[in-house]
Structure 1
Amino acid sequence: MSETQPTSDEALEIEIPADPLAGHPASAYLWGHVAGSGDVSNDRIEIVTNDEASAQVLAAVAGGDLEHETTSREYAHDTSITRTEDEYTLSIGGDEGDESDESGLLGRSGPLGLPVDGRGNYRFGAFASHDRELIRGLLEGCGTICFKSSSGTVGISFVHEDRDLLELTRELIADCPVEAPLGDLGETSSGGYWFGVDDDAAPAFGTWLYENCEETGLFAPSRRRKLERSLEQADAYDE
């Protein structure tokens, strides 16, 4: 396992909030990732992503140590399929020598001061004005984008073991400015839950989600490329 540190040039491109818990686009993006692919304990937050650029952004926003490894895991919808991919883990807090955490975890004495309660339920009220970045973080943390060759459509879905988190994600999408009907919550073969955006609404929803994201740098380039390729394939299928 190797350790990676964000460069100063990358950090300067991101508008860093004074408080990573306050209402701010970068904070919303960070906590979307925490909820989607992270883990919060008494003295540590760990966030996992497959995109190096996104990992660097999250490290610039919240500090911490970034490590890289290659992993193999089962595909969420079909456990008979495995895939090998790069994995970047950002660890915040938990080390006495972590200078980014001088007064506790993100400046708080314990996790009760974070937007997650003792039962693991997330509170996103502070990020209500930054729903696009919050949902984008959630999608990159626990979502999938694909081209469905059988129907020539784009698929966007969210997968997580926490049913309550997916219910909250559904509420956030229902309140977004783009009409995006959703399918029912279903169970995955791995014991988690998932739901998808209706195929007809996926292009508009995905386009809105990544619209103007270069202005803030709060996105995973590999995920946006996957969306763009899928949209291009769907357009070609229609032709």
Structure 2
Amino acid sequence: MSDARREIEVPADPLVGHPATAYLWGHVAGSGRVVRSEARTTDGERRRREHLEVVTNDEQSAQVLAAIAGGDIDHETSSREYAHDTSITRTEDEYTLSIGEDEDSEELLGRTSVLSLPVDGRGNYRFGAFSSHDRELLRGLLEGCGTICFKSSSGTVGISFVHDDRALLEATQELLADCPVTAPVGELSETSSGGYWFGIDDDAVPEFGMWLYEDCEATGLFAPSRRRKLERSLEQADSDDE
């Protein structure tokens, strides 16, 4: 795949409030994990190394995240179970961005942290710096751990968020409650795979979805395949209403 980096406006500090950093940390929270390993130095000492991996199913989104945070992208095809029904599997492209693999690097994305994720010392998600960029933050979260589907039984579009970390989904519900469009959500429920999920009320999905991707072309901070899926699903729902 091409390793070209998109021209994205990026601040020097990856933790300051900015549309690009909000989008990045939404993805990191939604689909990121820290991978730890040990390596021997030239003098025989063991040294712990860690790097951050962020996974997306969209190549352009992976390139955007790399433009913001640096790192290398690996592409593979994977099969996985649906979170809501483990009897169904799907095969899809998977792009993994690895950040901070340099053996001389002792911190990730400009901060020394046990997790190098957007959390404070007590494990609470720290999204306050991005309060002025809630659209990009929620877009990153949706693309990182959200699902979009057309519900043929009701002729509506569903948006849900799925994650193993209940606290992240609770933080996402708070962000949705504060966003400028009405987006009521359901209760958190357990998935059959052991994680958690909640959905936005179907009636609110069209307005929320259009707000979420409004003007995204201007910044490039979005996954084209995810936006296309949302648009196709909304068009299908409109067609069923006619």
Fold match, TM over 0.5? yes
Amino acid at match of 2:64: V
Which residue identity is paired with 2:167?
D
| In 2: Cα distance, 1:135 partner to 1:147 partner | 20
Tell me the equivalent position of 1:87.
94
Deviations 1:55-97 (A, max 9, x none): 0000000001110011111111100001111100001113226
Q: 1:18 — aligned with what?
A: 12
| Separation of aligned partners in 1, 2:237 and 2:111 | 47
Matches within 5 A, 1:66-145: 66-96=73-103, 104-111=107-114, 115-118=118-121, 120-145=123-148
- What's the RMSD between the two structures over aligned residues? 1.7
- SS at structure 2 position matched to 1:78: coil
Rounded Cα–Cα distance in structure 1 between residues aligned with 2:210 and 2:74: 31
Q: Using the alignment, how far apart are the partners of 1:108 and 1:185 within structure 2?
A: 32
> Aligned-pair distance for 1:20?
1.4
* 2:156 alignment partner in structure 1: 153
- Partners of 2:29 and 2:117 within 8 A in 1: no
Q: Over residues 111-166 of structure 1, what are the superposed CA-to-partner deviations in whole Å (9 max), with x where a residue is unaligned?
A: 47763235643211111110000000000000001111110001000001111100
Q: Do the aligned partners of residues 57 and 15 (structure 1) sit closer, same or farther apart at CA in structure 2, a change above 3 Å counting?
A: same
Contact conserved, 2:56 with 2:96, CA < 8 A, in 1? Answer: yes
1:184 corresponds to which of 176, 187, 197: 187
Q: Report the TM-score, using the length of structure 1 for normalisation.
A: 0.91
Contact 2:29 2:118 in 1 (8 A): no
| 1:25 partner letter | P
- Unaligned 5+ runs, structure 1: none
TM-score by length of 2: 0.89
- What is the CA-CA distance between 1:193 and the residue it aligns to? 0.6
Aligned length, in residue pairs: 229
Letter in 2 for 1:39: R
Q: Which moved more, 1:110-119 or 1:67-76?
A: 110-119
The reply on whether 1:7 has 2:4 as its aligned counterpart is yes
C-alpha contact 2:163 2:197 (8 A) present in aligned 1 = yes
Q: Matches of 2:240 and 2:234 in 1, distance apart?
A: 10
Structure 2: 5+ residue runs without aligned partners?
Answer: 37-49
**Distance of aligned partners of 1:41 and 1:21 in 2 relative to their CA distance in 1, 3 Å threshold:** farther
Q: Is the 8 A contact 1:145 1:155 kept in 2?
A: yes
Larger Cα Rg: Structure 1 or Structure 2?
2
The percent of aligned pairs where both chains have the same amino acid is 78
Structure 2: distance between partners of 1:70 and 1:199: 31
